[in-house]
Structure 1
Amino acid sequence: MANNDIIIKALRAVGEEDAEYLVSLIGSTPGFPKEGIIFRDFMPVLADARGLDILMRGFAATLPVAPEDFDVVAGLESRGFLFGPALASRFGKGFVAIRKAGKLPPPVFAESYDLEYGSASVEVEQNAIHPGERVLIVDDLIATGGTARAGADLIKKAGGIVAGFSFLMELDGLDGCSRLSEAPISTLIAMPA
């Protein structure tokens, strides 16, 4: 995928100059965490005041649903915690953390899911989501969709409704968005896997 293809989604949200600047901050490390994977590092975006501002404006401009169509933002551990609260605050919403198993005090709802090398589980506190509450799920990237799928199932188990999914990056070719068909999805940037 050409650099121009990567920028196109962000371009629509924040303009050409800011889109190019945002993408220039995202690092790529081939072979990490294992051979055959390109690690996409957006931490330099957070360390840069202009980059962080562009990121948050981009997230806000590309919501998959209108702000009045969700009640709370849920961030997936761990990088969804970094910008989920800021996004929630921007729209006058609360924030709920979807954590890895064993990180929250009981009582919790839990949801397990398969990974290529085993299984994992995510949890949410039982009193964090109220029945019928509409939840926007936020994370840094969508790859195969396993964690986001488990987060959506967890929201439903807690009595909430998945209003949409919002990701900074989509890794093309991994088809993760197809696992999240029940609600609208937005991504700010698409990059090759």
Structure 2
Amino acid sequence: MAESKEESKLALITRFIRQFPDFPSKGIVFRDICPIMKHPAALTAVMDLFEKHVRETHPLVDLIVGIDARGFLFGPLLAQRLGVGFVMVRKKGKLPGPTVSVAYTLEYGTAEAEIQEDSVSPGQKVVLIDDLLATGGTLFAACELMKKQGAEILGCLVVVELNDLSGREKLKPHAVFSLIQY
């Protein structure tokens, strides 16, 4: 049976995800998406699959919300394809002007995520995007920021999902769409 276009795009993307054992610490296998960015066909495949999913599942999206920092790589490209705006969720202290922030827990401590106060209006429909879903802490914080602003969260998109870390559970009831799962 012939491989579908979607399957061949997923196979291409998978070819360009490198694995680094024991990084950043022993026992961790780091999934590096940087080679995708160097290979135009792989990057196009990622964007094609994200665009198809959003157009079919969330046709009334108003904004794509990218998570610092790798969500900034995919988010603007997707927003441009969809003809919608792009908003950044940054680490605390990186945005000028009035901001709204949320503290969250990481494996190694705590952090804060923030957005500019006027970046999302109540009722706007948003899709959040990042490169990887592990424990879900960062995406959860971004969802909390969207709730603070009164946005309607349509779903979350990631290139890679690490199933063993159960990040999807932390994000419920929000839908998660991942291209590659490990």
TM-score normalised to structure 2 length? 0.93
Root mean square deviation, CA, Å: 1.6
Are residues 91 and 67 of structure 1, via their aligned partners in 2, closer, same or farther at CA, if it must alter by over 3 Å?
farther
- The 3-state SS of whatever aligns with 2:97 is coil
Give the letter for the 1:98 counterpart. Answer: V
Residue 178 of structure 1 and its aligned partner are, at CA, apart by: 0.7
User: What stretches of structure 2 of length at least 5 have no aligned partner?
Assistant: none
Residue 76 of structure 1 and its aligned partner are, at CA, apart by: 0.4
- The 3-state SS of whatever aligns with 1:15 is helix
- The 3-state SS of whatever aligns with 2:59 is helix
Does residue 42 of structure 2 align to residue 42 of structure 1?
no
- The 3-state SS of whatever aligns with 1:166 is strand
User: What stretches of structure 1 of length at least 5 have no aligned partner?
Assistant: 1-10
Residue 176 of structure 1 and its aligned partner are, at CA, apart by: 0.4
Query: Percent identity between the aligned chains?
Result: 38
User: What does 1:9-88 align with in structure 2 at a 5 Å threshold?
Assistant: 14-63=5-54, 66-88=57-79
Counterpart-to-counterpart distance in 2, 1:17 and 1:117: 37
Residue 65 of structure 1 and its aligned partner are, at CA, apart by: 6.3
- Contact 1:65–1:164 (CA under 8 A) maintained in structure 2: no
Residue 64 of structure 1 and its aligned partner are, at CA, apart by: 8.9
User: What does 1:108-127 align with in structure 2 at a 5 Å threshold?
Assistant: 108-127=99-118
- The 3-state SS of whatever aligns with 2:165 is coil
- Contact 1:140–1:167 (CA under 8 A) maintained in structure 2: yes
Aligned residues: 180
TM-score normalised to structure 1 length? 0.88
Residue 15 of structure 1 and its aligned partner are, at CA, apart by: 3.2
Does residue 156 of structure 2 align to residue 165 of structure 1?
yes
Are residues 123 and 65 of structure 1, via their aligned partners in 2, closer, same or farther at CA, if it must alter by over 3 Å?
farther
Counterpart-to-counterpart distance in 2, 1:93 and 1:18: 24
* Cα deviation digits, residues 64-83 of structure 1 (max 9, x gap): 96342321000000000001
Residue 183 of structure 1 and its aligned partner are, at CA, apart by: 2.2
* Cα deviation digits, residues 11-56 of structure 1 (max 9, x gap): 77x4333322221111000011111111101110111111111111
Query: What does residue 97 of structure 2 align with?
Result: 106
Larger relative contact order (C-alpha < 8 A, sep ≥ 6)?
A: 1
Query: What does residue 168 of structure 2 align with?
Result: 177
Residue 172 of structure 1 and its aligned partner are, at CA, apart by: 1.5
Residue 133 of structure 1 and its aligned partner are, at CA, apart by: 0.7
Counterpart-to-counterpart distance in 1, 2:130 and 2:152: 17
Give the letter for the 2:65 counterpart. Answer: A
